[in-house]
Amino acid sequence: MAVEALRLRRLDANRVEVPKDYKSGMSVPGIIFVDEVLEKDLEQKSIDQVANVAMLPGIVGASLAMPDIHMGYGFAIGGVAAFRTDSGIISPGGVGYDINCGVRLLRSSLTREEVVPRLRDLVQVLYREIPSGVGSKGKLRLTRQEMERVCRRGAGWAVEAGMGEAADLERIESGGVIDGADPSLVSEKAYERGKSQLGSLGSGNHFLEIQYIDEIYDEDAARALGLFRNQVTVMIHTGSRGFGHQVCTDYLEVMEKAVRKYGISLPDRELACAPFQSPEARDYLAAMRAAANYAWANRQAIMHWTRESFIGVLGLAPNRLGMSLIYDVAHNVAKVEEHEIDGKKEELVVHRKGATRAFPPGHPELPQAYRKTGQPVLIPGDMGRASFVLLGSQSAMRQTFGSTCHGAGRVLSRHQAIRQARGRFIRRELEERGILVMSAGRETLAEEMSEAYKDISNVVDVVHNAGISRKVVRLRPMGVVKG
């Protein structure tokens, strides 16, 4: 660990504090959810980013980071911060370039034993039917008018277009659409980039994964979610593609000007922001919501084609397949929410950048299906290890504004991973372990090899032990389509 990191103060087994005197100008402390094992992987730059966010106007409570923390643009990936809507700011760096990158999980009626004999065929068909890789284009070609409807309607647009059922929308965060999107505030360049990419995975760590449940931690919760041992599930991880990337790029320029206009002092120019009540902030929020809705439509379309692929390859009637949506969560988004601060309810804008909601039982924003259990929390790992389903908790509301981690978190940069993988055949290594993988390129598999990530089991144990989400089941990979 770097010398500076020794200034961190351990609060308990699962949290360290970045004290307010760590950097001049911090108005709140930083809190990083890590145990002693994961603390060794903390990057100095990530710790500094947590401290920098603590200097932003109107921040409430603490600048938070989840155990999958690693360096990002402005905010660390894994960062969570809430700001008052009357005196605080909104920052694109607190959302990220891939607006509403997120995960959805499908369950089926199938067991691992039923799928293994046709696994190779399934992976090949899914790879063919769902475009992946850098610059990949989907099967849809949308007009400008249609794109604007996507921006307003989100996953609902895809359902109306015949890609899914109305019941799907009840199991998506925010119902698959954030109100207040304004397509007129999205640039022509963003529309140009997004019009041919709806229904595609994209590149990097995005994936579609066929999995099976190998461990159940909470039998009652698993039963309530319709999950059982050896059950086959499908996890989809992607976001708003080039559309959201361009929205972020456009509004970073707007925010850089706003910083000068409103005289905001920043410790890092990547934290460019504007007062929440300003026209610049309102415009960004409306455009960001449009990109978030695009992402939900994207995952809805991919889910529809996944169902069709399973039916085609396995020759099963839809009711025998039993493929239905458990939940869909956003990882990169800013939302206006009500939280209790010092015993009073306050309206805050919560930035989650590589973090996910973990709302508790009874929360009014949860669909009726999950009012008793709490929100399903979906945490993917790397393609060689495991993923997890958890549930949100009341403790998360008190500690993290109802947030938890979103994945394993990188420990190697993409370039470092490629160098370390030289001379290895990652695809063959995975296949020897019973995991079939198809990707757009060999380099992608090197970038995404298990050693590039923290051990997801350690990460999930921290959020479970800290009480900000509780483990339900573990999912093991069988077949993977990588971006």
Which residue in 70, 304, 406, 464 is the catalytic one?
406
| Cβ-based neighbours of 385, under 8 Å, separated by 6 or more | 408, 450, 455, 456, 457, 477
What type of residue is 42? L
What CA–CA distance (Å, rounded) separates 450 from 456? 10
Active site residue 363: no
d(CA 38, CA 32) in angstroms, rounded, equals 10
**Cα–chain center distance at 306:** 20
Task: For residues 108 and 153, give the distance between their C-alpha atoms in angstroms, rounded to a whole number.
Answer: 27
28-56 burial, b for 16+ CB within 10 Å, e for fewer?
bbbbbbbbeebeebbbeebbbbbbbbbbb
| R_g of the chain, CA atoms, integer Å | 21
For residue 163, give every residue at least 6 positions away whose Cβ sits within 8 Å of its Cβ, in sequence order, or none. 300, 301, 303, 304, 305
Catalytic residues: 406
